[in-house]
Amino acid sequence: MTEPKLSLMDTGDGSHSLYHAELDESYHSHHGALRESQYVYIEQGLSLLPDARPIRILEVGLGTGLNVMLTVLAQRARPAITVEMLSLEPYPVPVDLVDQLNYSALLESDAADQAVFRQIHTAAWDTPTALSPGMTFTKTQNRLETQILPDNHFDILYYDAFAPNKQSDIWAAANFEKTFAATRPGGLLVTYCAQGQFKRDMRAAGYQLGPRLAGPPGKKEMVRGVKPN
């Protein structure tokens, strides 16, 4: 697969993101990459799940690996849970660019956590990797459309693809029918996106969307869909 043309960029909270020249799009909000990921995927997603069983996560769009690293830290803060995470990324970020990202400094990571962040990107594809005693991570270059997903399996989906106006195929209605089938009853799909057509497609697939949910800084809204019990 051809590597995209990427460059480092600063965001409003001081954290780095990447700019994709061909799409004219950044990997995160200009208002703050770290804050967006922490708010959307951890605070409004993972943190809401109970401790009762191992938590299985599907991420659509590994990107910089920030969501995975924040999940490692969130699991460590909740030792009662274990995490099994599968991330999809057809176009991986080159490791030399990963090494320039400043997340480790902002998260005040020690040498061990810096190594974990790098391991997210250097781990073998399609092979479970222990990022910590409580978290197993697998990454694949499959697209969502071709990835085989078991029914009623995932507790939460991090839907972190590029915006619908930049990468419309990943936001096709059929994809949400597929993710709905793969989500456990009571499971969640969280995303920064709040486009009207996307929300209609989510509801048509079977997800319940509650009252309007405030977005991270710079965004009026985000979406959290729930698969009914």
Q: What is the pLDDT of residues 164-187, one digit of tens each?
A: 999 999 999 999 999 999 999 999
Q: What is the pTM of this model?
A: 0.96
- The ranges assigned to domains in the chain are 32-226
154 neighbors 183 (Cβ within 8 angstroms)? yes
Closest CA to 223 of 205, 204, 199: 199
Task: Kindly indicate the confidence band of residue 3, based on its pLDDT and cuts at 50, 70 and 90.
Answer: low
Give per-residue pLDDT as tens, 43-102: 999 999 999 779 999 999 999 999 999 999 999 999 999 999 999 999 999 999 999 999
Closest CA to 166 of 40, 37, 11, 20: 20
* Both structure tokens of 73: 């830290």
Helix ranges restricted to H, 53-163: 66-77, 95-98, 103-106, 111-122
Give per-residue pLDDT as tens, 130-170: 999 999 999 999 999 999 999 999 999 999 999 999 999 99
The domain made up of 32-226 has a fold known as Rossmann fold (3.40.50)
Angle at 142 between CA 125 and CA 16, to 5 degrees: 75
Task: Kindly indicate the confidence band of residue 1, based on its pLDDT and cuts at 50, 70 and 90.
Answer: very low
Quote the pLDDT of residue 52. Answer: 75
Chain position carrying tokens 């997903």: 149
Quote the pLDDT of residue 2. Answer: 55
Q: Report how far residue 13's alpha carbon sits from residue 20's, in angstroms, rounded to the nearest whole number.
A: 20
Q: Report how far residue 69's alpha carbon sits from residue 113's, in angstroms, rounded to the nearest whole number.
A: 9
Q: Residues near 7 by Cβ (< 8 Å), separated by ≥ 6?
A: 18, 19, 21
